[in-house]
Amino acid sequence: MTLFEKHHALIEQAIAAGKSRNFWTSYPENPKAYGEGMDEAGKAAFSAQMTQNFTELLQDGQAWVGEEFSPYLQLGIGVKYPQSNNETIIAHASKAQELWGKTNIQTRAGLLVESLERVKARFFEIAYATMHTTGQAYMMSFQASGPHANDRALEAIAIGYQQLTSIEPNAVWTKPMGKFDLTLQKNFKAMPKGIGLVIGCSTFPIWNTVPGLYADLICGNVCIVKPHPKAILPIAIVVAELQKLLKENGIDPMVVQLAVDTVDAPVTKQLAENKDVKLIDFTGSSAFGDYIELLENKTTFTEKAGVNCVILDSVKDIKAVAGNIAFSASLFSGQMCTAPQNIYIPESGINTAEGHLSYEDARNAIVQAITDLVDNPKMGPHILGAIQSEATLKRLQNAGTMGGNLILAAKGVANPEFEHARVYSPAVIELTSADEYIYKKECFGPIVFIIKTRNTEESLHITKNLSIEIGAITCLAFCTDKNIIHHIEETMNQVYTPVSFNLGGAAFVNSHAAFSDFHVTGGNPAGNASFTNGEYISKRFVWVGNRMME
């Protein structure tokens, strides 16, 4: 049985899930689904890798580099990776491209799904690697870098397989011409564009990387993975599993390579500007994303910064709404591209099922919900995670100097497992709609602005304009009036921003589900691509048709 035959049914299930947009997963998010002893084994594997060279990669290097730092342990994890010069990496990629591009779609699909099964066996090790490089709490590390990332990768494979098999490769074309027929033999080939470069981020090193990686590979493009120097180990494990599987099946393992660097000696621009690199995926700052998008002769897929807003118009239960907002703003200390930042409340207050609530009472409910969450020793440290970078920590510590009224200062939160963990609660700053010089930019991390507006229409007007000028990945709205709900949806959709209404319970604006939710629309400045629509795949290859008359 070939690998494609082994996994064909799963690929078809994934295609069907993408069509229905209903809940479906091949990788359960509950750690208990993966058997007894797996967590302990994964933790032991991560611990054994610390302070050691990562030798699993099937690629040579002229030096060993690594500078990852655990936000929980407050010390370097000591792992080093083989580093080659860019010329060597490009040369290996060019050689591998010759055969990978000619490998048939069934073989590619089978290999790629099999690689996800190999990665699944290392979910727990990856979870600890993610935790100690990004600052994500354990459960988020497991889910985001494990099952959820695998689902996103499988989604890319499924859409790629669907598109690449949507056209018959051979046809006999006959046109009646009256006294004779005109007949041509035709063939159609999906030609890959060439070498891909996927530039990773420091906070979600797998979830944000594998969609582009697997989209490149399923379309016949080799791929260079350039992780953030502070978050290498999680994606290095994925690349290693891919390389080993390729070699086992007689394929050049340099189809996928890891390109590592350091903060002081970056190589990203040199790789991105190389003439042989044709495809670039990027997650990170708007400034660097803008640079990537302007590179000539490149097809780019970016996810950049945006300002995500919350519009409060009317609610059924203010306590439930405040709790939902508090959780979303506190999750991973706001270090998510989907985290809400600006919360708009009309100066006249909001209506609730229990009567009218003043602006001050609505504001105080949100502040109290955040306080209750972070002060809960069983919830706070495990929802907040840890602060990943010094820049984010410095921004948080200086929140009181931004302007406005600091109504809730950030404070250190004790983690019962890690004495030195860098954990802080969110800072909340009260503003008015006139303070746009403060709230009209992304403040990455646990900083929340509560903004007093004249009314819901002004809240919506500000949110719309921010989506146009700065970009937004999410928008959260609470409203009980169907007409206003429709108005908000229509207004925000016209500027290519999705809206989540009246979320509660286990539904949070931060989460986007594979096979159902599109992550980023690609229609506003927050990014030019979307996980995972057809264009995200189809721009990575070109259909070429040939004709022959016999």
What pLDDT, on the 0 to 100 scale, is given for residue 24?
97
Residues 461, 465, 466: CA angle, nearest 5 degrees: 115
Asked if 252 and 320 sit in the same domain, the reply is: no
Q: Under 8 Å CB-to-CB from 46, ≥6 apart: which residues?
A: 125, 128, 129, 132
Residue 6 is given by DSSP the state: H
pLDDT in tens, 309-344: 999 999 999 999 999 999 999 999 999 999 999 999
Asked if 370 and 476 sit in the same domain, the reply is: yes
Q: 473 burial class (0-12, 13-18, 19+ CB within 10 angstroms)?
A: buried
Asked if 259 and 284 sit in the same domain, the reply is: yes
Q: Where are the alpha helices (DSSP H) in 199-285?
A: 210-218, 233-248, 268-273
Look up residue 18 and give its two tokens. Answer: 């993408």
Percent of the chain with pLDDT over 70: 100
Average pLDDT on 399-404 reads 94
Asked if 283 and 329 sit in the same domain, the reply is: no
Query: 492 lies in a domain?
Result: yes
Query: 347 lies in a domain?
Result: yes
Average pLDDT on 179-189 reads 95
| Cis peptide bond N-terminal to 532, omega within 30 | yes
Query: 518 lies in a domain?
Result: no
pLDDT in tens, 240-288: 999 999 999 999 999 999 999 999 999 999 999 999 999 999 999 999 9
Average pLDDT on 127-146 reads 98
Inter-axis angle of helices 147-164 and 210-218, nearest 10:
30
Beta strand ranges found along 44-89 (DSSP E)? 63-65, 69-70, 75-76, 81-83
* CA dist., res. 1 & res. 11, Å (int): 16
Query: 522 lies in a domain?
Result: no
Query: 521 lies in a domain?
Result: no
pLDDT in tens, 357-389: 999 999 999 999 999 999 999 999 999 999 999
Look up residue 150 and give its two tokens. Answer: 């695998």
Asked if 34 and 123 sit in the same domain, the reply is: yes
Asked if 399 and 535 sit in the same domain, the reply is: no
What is the CATH classification number for the domain harbouring 180? 3.40.605.10
Asked if 374 and 232 sit in the same domain, the reply is: no
Q: Which range marks the domain in which residue 65 is found?
A: 3-304+530-548
* CA dist., res. 288 & res. 386, Å (int): 25
Asked if 403 and 455 sit in the same domain, the reply is: yes
Q: 98 burial class (0-12, 13-18, 19+ CB within 10 angstroms)?
A: exposed
In the block, tokens 């009646």 appear at: 176
Number of domains in the chain: 2
Q: 30 burial class (0-12, 13-18, 19+ CB within 10 angstroms)?
A: exposed
> Do 156 and 149 form a contact (C-beta atoms < 8 A)?
no
What pLDDT, on the 0 to 100 scale, is given for residue 550?
80
Residue 173 is given by DSSP the state: E
3-class DSSP assignment, residue 477: strand
CB atoms < 10 A from the CB of 120, how many? 16
* CA dist., res. 89 & res. 259, Å (int): 8
Asked if 298 and 317 sit in the same domain, the reply is: no
Which of the listed residues 501, 517, 538 is the one where a domain comes to its end?
501
Query: 514 lies in a domain?
Result: no
Asked if 61 and 172 sit in the same domain, the reply is: yes
**Of 125, 511, 124, nearest in space to 331 by CA:** 511
Percent of the chain with pLDDT over 90: 99
Report the relative pairing of strands 256-258 and 223-226 from DSSP bridges.
parallel
Look up residue 145 and give its two tokens. Answer: 């870098």
What pLDDT, on the 0 to 100 scale, is given for residue 343?
98
Query: 208 lies in a domain?
Result: yes
CA dihedral of 235, 241, 246, 248, whole degrees rounded to 10? 160
Average pLDDT on 523-534 reads 96
* CA dist., res. 446 & res. 336, Å (int): 10
pLDDT in tens, 504-521: 999 999 999 999 999 999
Query: 364 lies in a domain?
Result: yes
3-class DSSP assignment, residue 376: coil
pLDDT in tens, 450-474: 999 999 999 999 999 999 999 999 9
3-class DSSP assignment, residue 118: helix
* CA dist., res. 88 & res. 474, Å (int): 40
- pLDDT, the chain, mean: 97
What is the CATH classification number for the domain harbouring 389? 3.40.309.10
Average pLDDT on 45-55 reads 98
Asked if 232 and 333 sit in the same domain, the reply is: no
Look up residue 342 and give its two tokens. Answer: 């600006």
Radius of gyration of the chain (CA): 25
Asked if 275 and 167 sit in the same domain, the reply is: yes
H or E element, residue 128: helix 123-134
